[in-house]
Amino acid sequence: MSEVAGDRKPRVLLLYYSYTGQTVKVLDAAEEVLRKRGYLVDRAPIEFTDPKYSVKFSRFPMRRVWPDFFSVLPAQTRGVTGDIRTPEVVRTGGYDLICIGSPTWWDTVSMPLRSFLVSHEARPLLDGTPFAVFVVCRRKWRKNLAGVRKLAEKKGGRFVDSIHFTYPGSELSSMLSLTSYLGSGEYKERYLGVKLPPTNINEEHVEEARRFTARVADKVFGKR
C-alpha cells in the first residue's frame, strides 16, 4: 500500500499515447473512478513528433492506410525510438500512482510510448512509484504488456497490476476491421469483400476498466 502523508489527496497520473482515441476511452473510465474517490488526476498524453513518422500519424483517418500502417513496421521490429513531446506534468513528479495506457503497434509497445519509457524523463517520474498498465490492442497484447512493465521497472517503477482489452475476430478479420477503421474513421461491416467483426473499445470494456481501476486503487491506497 502506498503511503500518502496526512490528509493529502493521492495524486495519479494518466500517462499514454493514443492515435485513434481507444486508449483514451479506457483511461477516461479510470479517471472517472479516481476522481469519484477524491484523488487528484493529471493527464500526460505523449505527442509523436518524429519527422520520419509523425506526419502519417498527425491526421486521422490515415490518408493512405496500408502504406501508412506498414511504415512503422521495420522500426517497431527493431525497437527503434523517435522524437516525442511530453507535457510539463511529467516533470513535476510527486505522483502516488501512474496509469500507463499502451496501444499495441505490430504486437509490441508503440514507438512513442517506448521512446518516453527509455528517456531520461522517465526515471524521476517512475522511480519508486506504483504503476498499472492498460493495454489496448487488436489481438496481441502479451509482448506489449511485458515490454511496458520491463521498461517502467527498469526506471524504478513498482508494478501493481495490468489489464488488456482486445477486439473480436480472427487474425485476418480483425486486421481488416482495424485497417478499415484507420482508413475511414468509422466501423464498416464489410471490407475488401470480407465480413468484419466489431473493432475498438466498447461499453463492456469501459465498465471493465472502471472495475480494474477500483481494484488498483484499493491495492495502492487501501480499500474504501
Type of residue at 162: S
Distance, CA of 20 to chain centre:
11
> How distant is the alpha carbon of residue 208 from its chain centre?
15
Q: Measure the CA angle with vertex 108, ends 150 and 178; round to 5°.
A: 150
Q: What are phi and psi of 48, to 5 degrees?
A: -85, 110
**Cα angle at 135 between 147 and 203, to 5 degrees?**
175
Band of residue 59 on the pLDDT scale cut at 50, 70, 90: confident
All domains of the chain, ordered by start, with CATH? 11-166+202-221 (3.40.50.360)
Whole-number pLDDT of residue 138: 83
Average pLDDT across the chain, whole number: 92
Q: How confident is the model over 26-37, as a mean pLDDT?
A: 98
3-state secondary structure (DSSP) of residue 160? strand
Distance CA(201)–CA(204), nearest Å, equals 8
What is the mean pLDDT of the segment spanning 66-75?
88
Give the model's confidence band at 114: pLDDT under 50 very low, under 70 low, under 90 confident, else very high: very high
pTM for the whole structure: 0.91
Listed in sequence order, the residues at least 6 apart from 54 whose beta carbon sits closer than 8 Å to its beta carbon are: 48, 82, 83
pLDDT in tens, 147-197: 999 999 999 999 999 999 998 888 888 888 888 888 888 888 888 788 888
Please say if the pLDDT value at position 136 is more than 90: yes
